[in-house]
Every structure is written in C-alpha cells, then in structure tokens.
Amino acid sequence: MARRIRSGERSARNAAAAVVNNAEPGGVAFVVRDSSRGFTLIELMIVMAVISILVAIAVPVYNRAITRSKESVLKNNLFTIRSLIDEYTYDKQKAPQSLQDLVSDGYLREVPTDPITNSKDTWKVIMEDPNNAMNPQEPGMYDVRSGSDQTSLEGTPYSDW
C-alpha cells in the first residue's frame, strides 16, 4: 500500500523510493531497480560503429606517421654516410671500398640499418668511375643509396634518394 508523499518532503528520488518501497516519507528508502534495465543491442551496435569509424581514421594516420619517421631516419643516415665517405676520401686520399671500411677506420661505429628494409646489408653502394676517381688505381665508393624497391610518400623510389 503506497502512501502519498507531500511535495515539500526531501527529494523526488526519495519520494519515488518511498512510494516503491512503501516507506515513510523522509525515512531511509532503498531504490529497487528493475533488473531489465541495461544497454540495448542497438545502443551497443551504435557504440561499436563509432569505435570502428574512429579506428578506421586513426590507423592510416598512424601508418603514415610511421612511414614519415622511417623516411626521416633514412635521409639522416644517407646524409651522414655520404659526409663520412667524403671525409674518408679527403683524409686517406682514396675512396673507401665498402661501408665496412668506414667502420674499421673509425668513421662509423657500425653500419647503420636501412630503416625501410630493416637490414644493414641492403645498402646499394655506387662505385666511382676510374677516370674521375681520386686514386685511379683504386676506385672506391662515392655514394650510397637505400636498397628498397618501395616508393616514398613523395612518390619517388627510395633507391633514388
């Protein structure tokens, strides 16, 4: 038997709880919730659709950022290796025969990893023309490029950098 609550007593929630529980107004009342309350299937599907859309947007952006960072590391590695080839050539009066020469003579600690191929062995070494070499009897390398056959975000092959 529900008792009618006056409008000035406590709050609407307590009033509703008092009516549901047949309690005295202003007294302690426990709210009994209907056990059928929860999320409907359509609400869950909408949430999953929103999450899917956000993931579909985020994954390509993330992959592009990873590619940009690898390209930046490749540019830095190429600049450093080319500078060290020039220093080696001027210091020794001959070009290095391989990247390992730069390591063995202390110009590099180790051969850097090509970030695109993830390997130290895929660098393409470009050798000097004997007619234009500093030491024509022993032509060496004068340039290095990535051994990757992939194309950059700019549209140029990494092997042309």
Decide if pLDDT at 152 tops 60. Answer: yes
- Give domain status of residue 50, yes or no: no
- Cβ distance 158 to 74 under 8 Å? yes
Residues 24 and 82 in one domain: no
pLDDT of amino acid 160: 92
Residues 82 and 153 in one domain: yes
pLDDT of amino acid 116: 94
- Give domain status of residue 68, yes or no: no
**pLDDT tens-digit readout, 4-54:** 555 554 555 555 554 555 556 666 656 555 666 788 999 999 999 999 999
Longest alpha-carbon distance in the chain: 112
Count of domains in the chain? Answer: 2
pLDDT of amino acid 131: 80
